[in-house]
């Protein structure tokens, strides 16, 4: 349960973070160690505790027993682990779909109240750049990775409806320190806003049974709807537009009929991962 620590900041109790050694996981870990009473950090690569309230586990998410053991005592789970880009479908099914199933099943068996799942904007990558896309729009994945994340969301919905878990899926944008290419002007998710979304998802009331939201900064050119104030209680603050001077091609207008996914929507991006 959320409370207040001695400094007056919100405390998230015991939070488990999968994929804690990853790019996003490392940023989240640094912030949450000061806001959670205890952090349980999982990754398939070895981690060392860096604070007294950190506990680390070397875990392969395909090992359901190891996942359940590591999540003992957690109040909530931030599931960032998995494969983060296009790959052969069998690998994506194992890393993303099966791994998420094991996290959700461990949460069910452990009585964990909240699971935040890292989904991706790539579940809707084939909508046109001129279409402001929201969670209510049917999925249109731009590749096999997007398919795996659509399945992750479906698993979250199942565990919310059937077993009463509170599950929030965040469709993460382009997480970068700063935007570096024209597409990022629409898709950028700054580290500051990423932390804001994760905090809001962890702190959402237990009555939030299931929700899907785009985690994207307040970019002037964004493709996606921002969550309403009653959905997550976080309004992003950064805008990629302030970086246009440093991005080649930023002065050219995007084709509103082109897929939001940009190069990820090209057949070649997926063909190289299919059997010849």
Say whether 234 is catalytic. no
CA pair distance 70, 50, nearest whole angstrom? 18
CA pair distance 73, 13, nearest whole angstrom? 10
User: Which residue in 153, 42, 160 sits closest to 112, CA to CA?
Assistant: 160
DSSP lists the bridge partners of residue 3 as 11
- Both tokens assigned to 268: 């070649």
The SS3 call for residue 168 is strand
CA pair distance 225, 245, nearest whole angstrom? 25
Catalytic residue, chosen from 127, 145, 197, 264, is: 145
- φ/ψ of 39, rounded to 5, equals -115, 125
CA pair distance 165, 162, nearest whole angstrom? 8
- Both tokens assigned to 201: 């998802």
Residues identified as active-site: 145
């Amino acid at each position: 349960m959320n409370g207040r620590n001695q400094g007056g900041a919100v405390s998230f109790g015991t939070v488990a973070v999968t994929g804690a050694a990853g790019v996003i996981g490392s940023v989240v870990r640094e912030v949450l160690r000061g806001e959670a009473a205890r952090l349980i950090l999982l990754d398939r690569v070895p981690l060392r505790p860096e604070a007294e309230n950190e506990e680390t586990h070397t875990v392969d998410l395909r090992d359901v027993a190891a996942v359940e053991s590591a999540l003992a005592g957690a109040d909530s789970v931030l599931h960032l682990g998995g494969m983060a880009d296009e790959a052969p479908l069998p690998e994506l099914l194992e890393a993303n779909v099966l791994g998420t199933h094991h996290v959700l099943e461990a949460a069910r068996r452990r009585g964990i109240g909240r699971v935040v799942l890292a989904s991706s904007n790539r579940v809707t990558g084939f909508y046109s750049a001129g279409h402001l896309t929201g969670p209510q729009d049917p999925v249109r994945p731009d590749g096999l990775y997007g398919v795996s994340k659509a399945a992750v969301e479906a698993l979250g919905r199942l565990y919310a409806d059937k077993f009463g878990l509170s599950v929030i899926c965040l469709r993460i944008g382009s997480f970068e320190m700063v935007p570096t290419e024209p597409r990022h002007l629409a898709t950028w998710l700054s580290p500051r806003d990423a932390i804001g979304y994760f905090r809001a998802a962890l702190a959402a009331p237990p009555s939030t049974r299931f929700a899907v939201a785009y985690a994207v900064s307040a970019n002037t050119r964004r493709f996606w709807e921002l969550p309403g104030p009653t959905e997550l209680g976080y309004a992003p603050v950064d805008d990629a537009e302030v970086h246009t001077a440093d991005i080649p091609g930023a002065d050219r207008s995007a084709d509103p009929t082109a897929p939001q996914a940009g190069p990820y929507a090209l057949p070649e991006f997926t063909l190289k991962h299919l059997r010849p």
